Structure 1
């Protein structure tokens, strides 16, 4: 849990989130640690959601024009 969440890739954040959920579900940790894990999990979830939203916006930019009509591709970094 040392990597800042905002610096994590989607894959790394998902992997850690799965580990956090597993620990919480098994009840292997004390209450204080459970609260810290839950907080970390919430941050990881938000990171994953933000990265998915960004990916969806890029796909929409590639496949649809401003009027919603299908179009060709556009550079991702406009």
Structure 2
């Protein structure tokens, strides 16, 4: 994986696809909502023992200056 990309895992049931834009969500009203985090660049094939779907993300910001990130999936 290139050093300027991120890797994230989602539940197998989440319909994530290349081109999807990931945005922030408020956790208890502390963080702002809707700030772009990155764009899904690639969805890796599911292996027979994979519990989650792995995606490669092109970050919307320079990850060298980001301190905290939490990834949540929709209900």
Structure 1 length as normaliser, TM-score? 0.23
Task: For CA contacts below 8 A with separation 6 or more, give which structure has more relative contact order.
Answer: 2
- Richer in helix (by share): 1
Which protein shows a greater Rg? 1
